[in-house]
Amino acid sequence: MTSQQKVVTTIPSGGREKPKLYQLFFRNKKGLIGFILLVTIVFLAVFAPWIAPYVPTEMHARDRFSAPTWDYWLGTDFYGRDILSRIFYAFRISLYIAFAAVIFAVIVGSTLGIMAGYFRRLDAWIMRSMDVMFAFPVLLLAITIVVILGAGSLSAILAIGIVYTPIFARVARGPTLAVKEENFVEAAQAMGAGSSRVILRHILPNVAVPIFVQSTVELATAILFESALSFLGLGSKPPDASLGLMISQGKDFLEISPWATVFPGVAIALIVLSFNLLGDAMQEVLDPRLRQKEG
């Protein structure tokens, strides 16, 4: 919490130039740690084929259930596969599914939310259908969608994306309603700007920040969501390395080789933690009230 105190004292009382948002963000300790953590994970995921000590599906029959050693830093599983290498590859799947799902939800959700806020006639229709979606418990709806589409990465993306769509519709609708009433929008309309121009030039920039903050929060939950689906056997298929699947396979041999279950869980927690840190930092930086309160 000392970090926030520093942030507050660096806000100039006069004279000096106001620090940019991203500068405030990196002076925030949570923001900095979260950023470094995420960059590291993304690096490991992208360069997995070059960094990972073994091929993730390679089975070492003699070294089944090996405890962590110099050869296998995090041990091996039931098939003698290297857990560290599998975690690097699993980072790819987790990040890919979470990002794709959240991007889907951001595009569809904010389009619906902006349309609902901007066009009076559509408002009731769009928001009532979002309410119906909110009536479903999220995990139950996602599971049902995956069962319909058949288990796999693409189904997981669609399921999580659809479930998150109403969240972004709500986040986008609020600022749209507010901005629509502003003088500069009325002026633009009076000068003959069409709806698409007003939305792109005036509404979108105002919706972008809350959507961005919300996406960071939802990326954290999407990672947890994906791992839960693959834990239940509804995500990526074996022999692909997916963190949830690794835990579900490892749990049957908990007493012989706890590491096969422990480390993938730590890996999930680290990705989620990095997004949570970033989300916290963004909210603290963007909300000046929070900035002082935290001090």
Residues that bind another protein (CB under 8 A): 1-2, 131-132, 135-140, 143-145, 147-148, 150, 220, 224, 227-228, 231-234, 244, 247-248, 251, 254-255, 258, 261-262, 264-265, 268-270, 272-273, 276-277, 280, 290, 293-294
Min separation Cβ 140 and another protein, Å: 5
Min separation Cβ 49 and another protein, Å: 26
The nearer residue to another protein, 136 or 212, going by C-beta atoms, is: 136
The nearer residue to another protein, 176 or 274, going by C-beta atoms, is: 274
The nearer residue to another protein, 153 or 248, going by C-beta atoms, is: 248
The nearer residue to another protein, 49 or 137, going by C-beta atoms, is: 137
Min separation Cβ 139 and another protein, Å: 3
The nearer residue to another protein, 19 or 233, going by C-beta atoms, is: 233
Min separation Cβ 190 and another protein, Å: 36
The nearer residue to another protein, 61 or 135, going by C-beta atoms, is: 135
The nearer residue to another protein, 134 or 184, going by C-beta atoms, is: 134
Say which amino acid occupies 257. S
Min separation Cβ 145 and another protein, Å: 8
Min separation Cβ 153 and another protein, Å: 18
- The alpha carbon dihedral of 88, 94, 96, 102 has a sign of negative
Peptide bond preceding 49 in cis form (omega within 30 of 0):
no
Min separation Cβ 136 and another protein, Å: 5
Q: Which is nearest to 115 in space by CA: 125, 105, 103?
A: 125
